[in-house]
Chain A
Amino acid sequence: MALLSKKDANLIKDPLADNNPITIQVLGICSALAITAELKASVVMAISVLFVMGVGNVVISLIRNIIPSKIRIIVQLVVVAALVIIVDQVLKAFAYDLSKTLSVFIGLIITNCIIMGRFEAFALGNGPRRAFLDGIGNALGYGVILVIVGFFRELLGSGTLFGIKVLGDPIAKTGLYSIGYENNGFMIIPPAALIVVGVIIWVQRSRNRALIEEA
Chain B
Amino acid sequence: MALKEKLHQLKLKYQGKKMAPAFNALHTFLYTPNETTHSGAHVRAADDLKRTMNTVILSLVPCLLFGMFNAGYQHYSAINGFPENFSLFEHFLTWDNFWVGVTTVLPLVIVSYGVGLAIEFLFAVIKGHEVEEGYLVTGMLVPLIVPVDTPLWMLAIAVVFGVVIGKEVFGGTGMNILNPALTIRAFLFFAYPTWMSGDKVWVHEAVERAGTADAISGETILGSLAQGSDYSYSLADMFYGFIPGSVGETSTLLILLGGLFLIFSKIASWRIMVSAVIGALAMGLIFNGIVDAGWLPEYSKFYSLMSFPFWQHLIVGGLAFGIVFMATDPVTGSQTNKGKWYYGFFIGFLSVMIRVFNPGYPEGVFLAILLMNVFAPTIDHYVVKGNIKKRLKRLKTATIYPKASDEVDSLKTETA
Find chain B residues with CB under 8 A from A25 CB. Answer: none
Find chain A residues with CB under 8 A from B151 CB. Answer: 180
Q: Are B187 and A186 in contact (CB under 8 A)?
A: yes
Residue B191, interface by CB 8 Å: yes
Question: Please, what's the 1-or-0 string for B157-198, where 1 marks a CB less than 8 Å from any CB in chain A?
Answer: 100000001000100000000000000000100111111000
Cα of A81 to Cα of B221 in the assembled complex, Å:
55
Task: Decide if the interface of chain A is mainly helix, strand, loop or mixed.
Answer: helix
Residue A96, interface by CB 8 Å: no
Find chain A residues with CB under 8 A from B187 CB. Answer: 186
CB within 8 Å of B: which A157-173 residues: none
Cα of A181 to Cα of B151 in the assembled complex, Å:
10
Which residue of the partner chain A has the closest CB to B195? A182
Q: Are B190 and A186 in contact (CB under 8 A)?
A: yes
Which residue of the partner chain A has the closest CB to B190? A186
Q: Are A185 and B193 in contact (CB under 8 A)?
A: yes
Q: Are A198 and B191 in contact (CB under 8 A)?
A: no
Residue A78, interface by CB 8 Å: no
Q: Are B192 and A202 in contact (CB under 8 A)?
A: no
Residue B31, interface by CB 8 Å: no
Cα of A198 to Cα of B170 in the assembled complex, Å:
12
Which residue of the partner chain A has the closest CB to B186? A186
CB within 8 Å of A: which B186-225 residues: 187, 190-195
Residue B153, interface by CB 8 Å: yes
The 9 closest A-B pairs by CB, nearest first: A186-B191, A186-B190, A184-B191, A185-B191, A185-B193, A182-B192, A185-B190, A186-B187, A195-B165
Residue A189, interface by CB 8 Å: yes
Cα of A195 to Cα of B191 in the assembled complex, Å:
14
Q: Are B192 and A198 in contact (CB under 8 A)?
A: no
Cα of A182 to Cα of B150 in the assembled complex, Å:
12
Given A180-B151, A180-B153, CB of A185 within 8 Å of CB of B192: yes
Question: Please, what's the 1-or-0 string for B307-341, where 1 marks a CB less than 8 Å from any CB in chain A?
Answer: 00000000000000000000000000000000000
CB distance from B154 to the nearest CB of A (A): 8
Question: Please, what's the 1-or-0 string for B23-52, where 1 marks a CB less than 8 Å from any CB in chain A?
Answer: 000000000000000000000000000000
Other than the given A180-B151, A184-B191, 20 more pairs (CB < 8 A) read: A180-B153, A181-B153, A182-B154, A182-B192, A182-B194, A182-B195, A184-B157, A184-B192, A185-B190, A185-B191, A185-B192, A185-B193, A186-B187, A186-B191, A187-B191, A189-B190, A195-B165, A198-B165, A198-B169, A202-B169
Chain A residues near B (Cβ < 8 Å): 180-182, 184-187, 189, 195, 198, 202
Cα of A92 to Cα of B151 in the assembled complex, Å:
44
**Which one of A180, A181, A185, A186 has the greatest number of beta carbons of chain B within 10 Å?**
A186
Find chain B residues with CB under 8 A from A186 CB. Answer: 187, 190-191
Find chain B residues with CB under 8 A from A189 CB. Answer: 190
Find chain A residues with CB under 8 A from B190 CB. Answer: 185-186, 189
Which residue of the partner chain A has the closest CB to B164? A199
Find chain A residues with CB under 8 A from B193 CB. Answer: 185
Find chain A residues with CB under 8 A from B191 CB. Answer: 184-187
What are 11 sample pairs from A and B whose C-beta atoms fall under 8 A apart? Answer: A180-B151, A180-B153, A181-B153, A182-B192, A182-B194, A182-B195, A185-B192, A186-B187, A186-B191, A195-B165, A198-B165
Cα of A11 to Cα of B70 in the assembled complex, Å:
65
Find chain B residues with CB under 8 A from A180 CB. Answer: 151, 153
Cα of A181 to Cα of B157 in the assembled complex, Å:
12
Find chain A residues with CB under 8 A from B169 CB. Answer: 198, 202
Which residue of the partner chain B has the closest CB to A157? B191
Find chain B residues with CB under 8 A from A198 CB. Answer: 165, 169
Cα of A185 to Cα of B165 in the assembled complex, Å:
17
Cα of A85 to Cα of B169 in the assembled complex, Å:
41
Find chain A residues with CB under 8 A from B153 CB. Answer: 180-181
Cα of A181 to Cα of B169 in the assembled complex, Å:
27
Cα of A186 to Cα of B196 in the assembled complex, Å:
13
CB distance from A23 to the nearest CB of B (A): 15
Which residue of the partner chain B has the closest CB to A182? B192
Cα of A121 to Cα of B41 in the assembled complex, Å:
58
Cα of A184 to Cα of B190 in the assembled complex, Å:
8
Cα of A195 to Cα of B190 in the assembled complex, Å:
14
Find chain A residues with CB under 8 A from B195 CB. Answer: 182
Cα of A202 to Cα of B151 in the assembled complex, Å:
29
Cα of A99 to Cα of B38 in the assembled complex, Å:
73
